[in-house]
């Protein structure tokens, strides 16, 4: 093609683009501007807790997910309930996915070598069209064998955590997705409101609940990849994307944790377990590690003790700073912690009514749980919101 033909072709394209641009401008007079149109920022999270330890049905938090339906795409939904197994509160409740019966049999042989199994049963579900291709879903109420603990010289929490890691990394076709005492996680591939129906959450009563609707952007949607992610009694629901994942993963895997679930959220659970259970940090201190203030903010602190504490934590755990947009809710026995990234790049609001505290990605979700919720507010970036149940009430 000659240069002259190229020139005329380019000129024709320029004229066509100009014409299309002018036509598009004519239709913009009725376009909605920012603030008038709802643009979901991926994933939905919600939580509720009773500070008096009063029990609530799982149906309550499931209802909070309905107005946030568009934040999910059907590739993952899940819930964590605390206080739901009072009859077995002194035993670890292992919830496990199996791909086939033979895998379950092999896993049970392995568990019997390490635990006393007090009860073993399939987790009750109901068949619904929205949830398909479900694995075998089983639960075990167990306690570690004292002889095994003495031989390995481990405390029972560390022993259970190592057992979970071993099954999830070495036993093909088996995945432990919940392992705490008097709590349980329920998750699947599907929209969260359908997952709640599938697992019959209306039959469970707990003093605290967390919920998640997934919108995966760069990882697959599969049953093990749905939120919450748990280890022992810690559970995490997360909205966002962690740009520091590789640095976080490399550090945490030096201490025996294994990230095998094909999603960045998994590492947050292990980081918090490491900081709180292993290192003995408070939740406030752990929040100051993963959502650490900027160095300039630390330098501006007027309290020398506070400045020294922040400097110490940032210096000691630089590889556990989580960067990128996130809002998370950590569930644990006796409480919840909500936390945004330090720039607050993901929405999260908190409300209260009587002894209940509500947390969600949107105010609409809080109103679905409690229409008369008061004091709705948005925590600042990096500011943890920690709610604890009255001592002895759980």
Produce one character per residue of 109-133: b if its CB has 16 or more CB atoms within 10 Å, e if not: ebbeebbeeeeeeebebeeeeebee
Q: What is the pLDDT of residue 77?
A: 92
Q: Which residues contact 22 (CB under 8 A, 6 or more apart)?
A: none
pLDDT of residue 253 exceeding 90, the answer is: yes
pLDDT-derived band at 320, boundaries 50, 70, 90? very high
Query: Counting runs of H as helices and runs of E as strands, what totals does the chain give?
Result: 12, 18
Q: What is the pLDDT of residue 359?
A: 97
pLDDT digit string, tens, across residues 69-128: 888 888 899 999 999 999 999 999 999 999 999 999 999 999 999 999 999 999 999 999
Q: What is the pLDDT of residue 187?
A: 96
- Per the listing, tokens 């479900």 go with 134
Task: Please tell me which residue, 35 or 166, carries the higher pLDDT value.
Answer: 166
pLDDT digit string, tens, across residues 2-24: 444 444 444 444 444 444 334 33
Tokens of 23: 């036509």
pLDDT digit string, tens, across residues 259-293: 988 788 899 999 999 999 999 999 999 999 999 99
Q: What is the pLDDT of residue 23?
A: 37
Q: What is the pLDDT of residue 383?
A: 94
Give percent above pLDDT 70 in the chain.
Answer: 89
pLDDT-derived band at 27, boundaries 50, 70, 90? very low
pLDDT of residue 134 exceeding 90, the answer is: yes
Residue pair 191/213 in contact (Cβ under 8 Å)? The answer is yes
Question: pTM (2 decimals)?
Answer: 0.87
pLDDT-derived band at 31, boundaries 50, 70, 90? low
Mean pLDDT for 175-203 is: 96
Produce one character per residue of 314-352: b if its CB has 16 or more CB atoms within 10 Å, e if not: beebeebbbbebbbbbbbbbbbbbbbbbbebebbbbbbb
**Nearest-10 Cα torsion for 262, 263, 269, 270:** 40
Residue pair 359/338 in contact (Cβ under 8 Å)? The answer is yes
* 43 is annotated as an active-site residue: yes
Domain boundaries of the chain, sorted by first residue: 44-388
Mean pLDDT for 181-200 is: 96
Catalytic choice (13, 43, 107, 259): 43
Longest dimension (CA), the chain: 89
Beta bridge partners of 46: 211, 360
Q: What is the pLDDT of residue 5?
A: 43
Q: What is the pLDDT of residue 367?
A: 96
pLDDT-derived band at 241, boundaries 50, 70, 90? confident
- Architecture (CATH level 2) of domain 44-388: 4-Layer Sandwich (3.60)
Among candidates 321, 325, 311, which has minimal Cα distance to 247? 321
pLDDT of residue 385 exceeding 60, the answer is: yes
- The chain-wide mean pLDDT, for the chain, equals 89
Mean pLDDT for 332-361 is: 95
Give percent above pLDDT 90 in the chain.
Answer: 76
Among candidates 110, 169, 174, which has minimal Cα distance to 142? 110
Beta bridge partners of 141: 93, 119
């Amino acid at each position: 093609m000659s240069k002259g033909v190229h020139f005329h072709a380019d000129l024709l394209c320029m004229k066509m683009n100009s014409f299309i641009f002018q036509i598009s401008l004519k239709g913009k007079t009725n376009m909605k501007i920012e603030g008038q149109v709802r643009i979901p920022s991926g994933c939905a999270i919600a939580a509720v807790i009773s500070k008096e330890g009063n029990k609530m049905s799982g149906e309550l938090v499931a209802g909070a997910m309905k107005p946030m339906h568009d934040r999910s795409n059907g590739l993952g939904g899940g819930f964590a309930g605390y206080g739901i197994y009072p009859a077995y509160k002194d035993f670890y409740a292992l919830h496990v996915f199996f791909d086939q019966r033979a895998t379950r049999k092999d896993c049970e042989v392995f568990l019997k070598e390490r635990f006393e199994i007090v009860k073993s049963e399939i987790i009750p579900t109901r068949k619904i069209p929205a949830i398909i291709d479900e694995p075998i879903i089983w639960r075990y109420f167990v306690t570690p064998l004292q002889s095994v603990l003495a031989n390995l010289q481990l405390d029972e929490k560390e022993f259970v955590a190592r057992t979970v890691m071993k099954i999830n990394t070495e036993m093909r076709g088996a995945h432990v997705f919940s392992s705490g005492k008097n709590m349980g996680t329920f998750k699947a591939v599907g929209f969260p409101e359908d997952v709640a129906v599938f697992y019959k959450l209306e039959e469970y009563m707990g003093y605290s609940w967390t919920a998640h609707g997934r919108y995966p952007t760069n990882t697959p949607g599969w049953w093990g990849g749905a939120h919450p992610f748990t280890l022992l009694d810690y559970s995490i629901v997360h909205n966002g994307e962690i740009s520091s994942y590789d640095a976080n993963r490399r550090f945490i895997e030096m201490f025996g944790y294994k990230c095998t679930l094909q999603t960045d959220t998994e590492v947050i659970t292990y980081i918090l377990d490491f900081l709180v259970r292993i290192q003995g940090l408070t939740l406030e201190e752990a929040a100051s590690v993963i959502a650490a203030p900027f160095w300039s903010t630390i330098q501006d602190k007027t309290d020398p003790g506070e400045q020294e504490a922040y400097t110490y934590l940032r210096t000691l755990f630089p590889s556990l700073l989580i960067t990128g947009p996130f809002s998370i809710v950590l569930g644990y026995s006796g409480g919840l912690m909500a936390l945004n990234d330090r720039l607050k790049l993901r929405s999260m609001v908190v409300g209260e009514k009587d002894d209940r505290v509500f947390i969600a990605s949107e105010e609409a979700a809080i109103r679905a749980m409690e229409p008369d919720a008061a004091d709705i507010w948005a925590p600042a970036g990096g500011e943890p919101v920690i709610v604890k149940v009255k001592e002895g009430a759980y």
